[in-house]
């Protein structure tokens, strides 16, 4: 008779596996992802606290597979967009991109402002679709950039339109280096957005910008993303579309994207 595990299911510990080569490769990717200017081999070695001899073959393979590029001029390694491209092949993100991109292009043309779409993942918002304004005055965010759940319009929208239990999970997942909200302040934000149906706040990052955000829903009625316009104010008052009018167009666009995703 085969030997059985005498420990009860509640006391069994999950078996942990080790793949040192894979871990080194992932460590390199994560280190490069945290530095937009790239890293030299010496800097990579220092940050990972590993001798370069252990990392060199990993870097060569990552280059061969197209995840990392090397600049001989600067002697620095940088991540390529391959991981970002792979993430967009995921069915939910791809479906969202296909539904939203043409409508966001029309939105940017109609209000002469840039816009972007933010989804929630692992304690943060992530920008998955971005459209620049056709105007000569452009304020935009980088595709793939992260948006903290607190102090951002998109984060507030993503938190406001979920059930309480899911919101607690999202808040527990906020990275340690991101600010955690006071409960009273968060309740005020959630209550206000639920009442109004949108978020409109002064940007916490850029003076003179009003962030406008609306929820986008999927076929199941769950929030899928936040559609955000960082509304750029002109000092001379020459806005082709005033913020009040723009807000109505943004709301309609969010509803149209939701409709394309099957929301009724």
Does 121 share its domain with 74?
no
Residues 40 and 57 in one domain: yes
Query: What 8-state DSSP symbol labels residue 164?
Result: H
- Say if 111 falls within a structural domain: yes
What was the pLDDT predicted at 87? Answer: 63
Give the orientation angle of helix 183-196 with respect to helix 153-160, to 10 degrees.
Answer: 80
At residue 228, the pLDDT reads 98
227 with 253, same domain: the answer is: yes
CB neighbour list of residue 150: distance below 8 Å, 6 or more residues apart: 174, 178, 179, 180, 181, 186
Per the domain annotation, does 13 fall within a domain? no
153: number of Cβ within 10 Å: 28
Distance separating alpha carbons of residues 206 and 48, to the nearest angstrom? 34
Residues 146 and 250 in one domain: yes
Whether 178 and 148 have beta carbons less than 8 Å apart is answered as yes
Per the CB < 8 A criterion, the answer to whether 53 and 59 are in contact is no
Residues 180 and 229 in one domain: yes
Q: What is the domain range of residue 53? A: 20-80
Q: Does the residue 123 lie in any domain?
A: yes
Task: Write out the H or E segment, with its range, that includes residue 109.
Answer: helix 91-111
Give the helix/strand (H/E) hosting 157: helix 153-160
66 and 93 assigned to the same domain? no
pTM exceeding 0.85: no
Give 3-state DSSP helix, strand, coil % of the chain, rounded to 5.
40, 20, 40
- Tally of structural domains, the chain: 2
pLDDT at 11: 47
Q: Using CA atoms, how far apart are residues 67 and 62, in angstroms rounded to an integer?
A: 5
- CATH code at position 233: 3.30.450.40
Q: Does residue 5 belong to any structural domain of this protein?
A: no
239 φ, ψ to 5°?
-60, 125
The two three-digit tokens of residue 95, written as one number: 């479906």
Q: Contact 61/25 with Cβ under 8 angstroms? A: yes
Measured in residues, the chain has a length of 264
Residue 69 shares a structural domain with residue 112: no
152: number of Cβ within 10 Å: 24
On whether both 76 and 90 belong to a single domain, the answer is no
Q: Is 15 within the bounds of a domain?
A: no
The 8-class DSSP code of residue 123 comes to T
> Which pLDDT score is estimated for 85?
66
219 inside domain: yes
In a domain, 49, yes or no: yes
**Angle, CA 141 vertex, CA 138 and CA 144 arms, to 5°:** 150
Ranges of the chain whose pLDDT falls below 70: 1-15, 84-85, 87-91
pLDDT of residue 84: 67
CATH number of the CATH domain containing 36 = 1.10.10.10
């Amino acid at each position: 008779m085969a030997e059985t595990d005498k420990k009860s299911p509640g006391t069994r510990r999950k078996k942990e596996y080790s793949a040192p080569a894979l871990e080194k490769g992932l460590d390199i990717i994560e280190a490069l992802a945290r530095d937009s200017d790239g890293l030299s081999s010496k800097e990579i070695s220092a940050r990972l606290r590993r001798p370069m001899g252990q990392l060199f073959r990993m870097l060569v393979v990552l280059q061969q597979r197209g995840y990392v590029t090397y600049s001989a001029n600067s002697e620095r390694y940088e991540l390529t967009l391959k991981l970002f491209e792979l993430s967009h092949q995921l069915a939910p993100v791809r479906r969202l991109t296909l539904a939203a991109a043409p409508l966001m292009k029309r939105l940017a043309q109609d209000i002469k402002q840039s816009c972007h779409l933010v989804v929630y993942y692992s304690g943060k918002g992530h920008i998955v679709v971005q459209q620049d304004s056709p105007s000569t005055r452009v304020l935009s965010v980088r595709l793939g950039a992260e948006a903290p759940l607190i102090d951002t319009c998109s984060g507030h929208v993503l938190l406001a339109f979920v059930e309480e239990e899911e919101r607690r999970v999202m808040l527990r997942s906020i990275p340690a280096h991101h600010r955690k909200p006071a409960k009273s302040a968060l309740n005020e934000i959630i209550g206000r957005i639920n009442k109004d149906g949108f978020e409109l706040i002064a940007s916490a990052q850029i003076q003179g910008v009003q962030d406008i955000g609306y929820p986008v829903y999927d076929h199941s009625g769950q929030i899928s993303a936040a559609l955000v316009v960082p509304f750029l104010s002109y000092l001379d008052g020459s806005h082709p579309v005033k913020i009040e009018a723009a807000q109505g167009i943004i709301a309609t666009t969010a509803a149209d994207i939701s409709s394309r995703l099957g929301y009724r």
